[in-house]
Amino acid sequence: ETGVTQTPRHLVMGMTNKKSLKCEQHLGHNAMYWYKQSAKKPLELMFVYNFKEQTENNSVPSRFSPECPNSSHLFLHLHTLQPEDSALYLCASSQPRVGAMNTEAFFGQGTRLTVV
Amino acid sequence: AQKITQTQPGMFVQEKEAVTLDCTYDTSDPSYGLFWYKQPSSGEMIFLIYQGSYDQQNATEGRYSLNFQKARKSANLVISASQLGDSAMYFCAMSGYSGSARQLTFGSGTQLTVLP
């Protein structure tokens, strides 16, 4: 069982659909993240949750709606997306320690989203 | 604001030879961490190596070593004895704080191809 699991691995949706991406971590971490990876662009941080509280929203359009019901699960709800939202969406988790910079993030395998 | 720059979009190396992947960074924080991740075609981001800004020695992990030159703000990854399985995208990242959240900022990546 991998540390961070994302489902589905692939998703094709129309612009009027509503879908959700799911992320689950089995590492006991308290921080979870959503990243977007578009072709030929660096990973873009979308949302950060620390202890189930959203602490970061990097100017993400409201058609992306995150949800963190507990420290092990993270969702990304999608509605009325645009074709340019097609990308690989990566979930990550880490265990923040005060003052420490060496806490690496563990990533899931991502959901490859195609909006048609 | 933090910035990571990877100037090599693609690199080729012969199997069993060493290769250096470049990474420069910019930050005003006195304390930070530098990471390298590998992303195979499957999509998952795999943590490789970490270097702290106050670490006196360069980090090493098996065939991976990090050539940390603080004055030049560079953190190059050296892979010794390349293997075919090393073919992947490689990302340099820096940890820092944005508001109350600790997060990773990624470079644009280098596509490494190991030739038989």
d(CA B91, CA B107): 6
pLDDT, one tens digit per residue, over A43-62 is 898 998 888 788 777 789 99
* Whether the predicted pLDDT of A78 surpasses 80: yes
Q: Which residues of A touch B42 (CB under 8 A)?
A: 109
Is A43's CB within 8 Å of B99's CB?
no
Is A109's CB within 8 Å of B42's CB?
yes
Mean pLDDT of B49-67: 93
pLDDT band at A100 (very low <50, low <70, confident <90, very high): low
* Whether the predicted pLDDT of B100 surpasses 60: no
3-state SS, residue A15: coil
pLDDT, one tens digit per residue, over B8-34 is 999 999 999 999 999 999 988 888 889
Asked whether the beta carbons of A51 and A42 are under 8 A apart, the reply is no
Whether a cis peptide bond, with omega within 30° of 0, leads into B116 is no
Among chain A residues, the shortest Cα distance to B96 is held by A101
Chain B interface, mutation test: which of A104, A106, A111, A114, most B Cβ atoms within 10 Å? Answer: A104
pLDDT, position B14: 97
d(CA A60, CA A56): 10
Q: Which residues of B touch A106 (CB under 8 A)?
A: 47
pLDDT band at A18 (very low <50, low <70, confident <90, very high): very high
Residue A32: strand pairing partners? A49, A93
pLDDT, position A5: 95
Is A110's CB within 8 Å of B43's CB?
yes
Tokens at residue A41, please? 């662009």
Is A41's CB within 8 Å of B98's CB?
no
